[in-house]
Amino acid sequence: MIEEKVKLFKALGNETRLRIVRYLLENERCACDFEPMVDRDQTTISRHLKVLTEAGILEKERDGKNVVYRIGDGNLKDTLRELGIEEIEPCC
């Protein structure tokens, strides 16, 4: 149980990943949407999305060629909002 919590907090302990989560609190998004939002290249974004998915924060679903990401759990969404993630300033 503690390993899961450590993974969760480590996943949230990065500015780029927090910005990704912030955008996903608004709406589900394709992985291709994040590049201009977080000012990182697609390879870096993919690594961050993988960390967030493995920590159980995100779920992904293939939609043709695209992969769509969303916050995996409604309760987690509420918790992230309570932590003020939505108040993080947009990157660019």
Task: Determine the structural domain holding residue 66 and report its residue range.
Answer: 2-86
Measure the CA–CA gap between 69 and 82, rounded to whole angstroms: 21
User: How far is the C-alpha of 60 from the C-alpha of 70, rounded, in Å?
Assistant: 7
Q: pTM to 2 decimals?
A: 0.89
Report yes or no on 17 lying in a domain: yes
Q: Give pLDDT tens digits for 32-69.
A: 899 888 888 899 999 999 999 999 999 999 989 999 99
Q: For residue 72, tell me if it sits in a domain.
A: yes
Percent of the chain at pLDDT exceeding 70? 97
Let me know if residue 91 belongs to a domain: no
Domain count within the chain: 1
The domain spanning residue 70 has which CATH number? 1.10.10.10
How far apart are alpha carbons 7 and 59 in whole angstroms?
Answer: 15
**In whole angstroms, what is the distance from residue 79 CA to residue 34 CA?**
22
